[in-house]
Amino acid sequence: MYSKEYVRKTLIGHRSRMAGFYRATIIGAAAFLLISILVAPIVHELMHFFVLEFYHCYYEPHIRFTPEYGLYGNLAQFCALSPGKEALVSGAGVLVNYAIATVLFMLVPVIYRKGMIIHANFFMYAALGFLSDPLFYFFASEGDMINILWLLKKEAWAPLLPVLGLLTFSLAMAYVYRHMERFIEDYMRIEQEVKEAEAFIDEIRR
C-alpha cells in the first residue's frame, strides 16, 4: 500500500505532466505556424542565395510577403549557369526544407522512446512546418519544382508532381496519426492514474 505522501507527490507530478500536454499542443501549433509562415520560407530563400554564392554568381534578392503566397523571394540573377546548376539553385530551398523535416520526423520516435513525449510532440509540429514548404511547390502550377523540370527538359513529368505531393502528404498524415495516437493514449493513462490517486486520497480523508 502506498503512503499518502507518495500518492500526493505522484498526483502533483501527473497533474504537472497533464498541463504539459496542453502546453505542448499550444506551443507546437504556434511553432508550426511560425515555421511554415516565416522560418521555412526564409531557409528556402537563403538556400537559393547560398548556392548562387557558391557558384560566385552575382544576384539581387527581392523578398516579398503576400496573403496568398506568404513570404517568398525573387532573384535578379546576373550570371549564366548550366541547366544542371540552375536546377540546383531552384531546388536548393525545397530540398533543404524537406531534409530538415525528414530529420525532425526521425527524431520524434527517438525522443518518444526516452519518455519525452511532450518534446516529441513539439518536434513533430516543427517537422510539419518545414514540410509545408516543399508540399506547396508539389501542388503549385509554377515555381521551383516546375522550373527544375523545365531546366532538365522533363516538362512531361509535371503531372507527377501533385501525385508525389499527395503521397508525401498522406505519409506525413499517417505518421502524425500514429504519433498522436500514442500521445493521447499516454495522456489518458495519466488522467486515469490521477483519478485513482484522487480517489485514494479522498478515501483516506474519510
Q: What does the pLDDT look like over 93-107, one tens digit per residue?
A: 999 999 999 999 999
- More confident call, 193 vs 12: 193
Does residue 206 fall inside a structural domain?
no
Are residues 70 and 37 in contact, defined by beta-carbon separation less than 8 angstroms?
A: yes
Residue 14: closest CA among 204, 169, 188, 149 = 188
Percentage of the chain modeled with pLDDT above 90: 35
Does residue 150 fall inside a structural domain?
yes
- DSSP-derived secondary structure letter, 35: I
Residue 30: closest CA among 169, 131, 129, 173 = 129
How many structural domains are present in the chain? Answer: 1
Does residue 137 fall inside a structural domain?
yes
pLDDT of 194 over the 90 cut: no
Identify the pLDDT of residue 179. 82
Look at 16-20, 27-31, 80-84, 161-165 and tell me which has the smallest mean pLDDT: 16-20
70, with CB counted inside 10 A (0-12, 13-18, 19+), is: middle
Identify the pLDDT of residue 204. 59
Show the domain range for 150.
4-201
17, with CB counted inside 10 A (0-12, 13-18, 19+), is: middle
Identify the pLDDT of residue 142. 83
pLDDT of 159 over the 80 cut: yes
Identify the pLDDT of residue 146. 92
Which residues 6+ apart lie within 8 Å of 46 measured at CB? 93
Identify the pLDDT of residue 14. 57
Indicate the pLDDT class of residue 188, thresholds 50, 70 and 90. Answer: confident
Please give the Cα distance from 55 to 49 (Å, whole number). 10
pLDDT of 206 over the 60 cut: no
DSSP secondary structure, 15-28, as one string: HHHHHHHHHHHHHH
Q: What does the pLDDT look like over 120-137, one tens digit per residue?
A: 888 999 999 999 999 999
Tell me the Cα Rg of the chain: 23
pLDDT of 78 over the 90 cut: no
Name the grid cell of 180: 498522436
Identify the pLDDT of residue 61. 74
Q: What does the pLDDT look like over 21-71, one tens digit per residue?
A: 777 788 888 999 999 988 999 999 899 989 999 998 888 777 776 666 666
Look at 15-24, 104-113, 122-131, 159-168 and tell me which has the smallest mean pLDDT: 15-24
Please give the Cα distance from 1 to 9 (Å, whole number). 15
Name the grid cell of 205: 480523508
Are residues 120 and 108 in contact, defined by beta-carbon separation less than 8 angstroms?
A: yes
Beta strands in 69-139 (DSSP E): 70-77
DSSP secondary structure, 133-166, as one string: HHHHHHH-SSSHHHHHHHHTT-GGGTTHHHHHHH
Query: What is the distance, to the nearest Å, from the Cα of residue 85 to the centroid of all Cα atoms in its chain?
Result: 28
| Cell 518545414 -> residue | 130
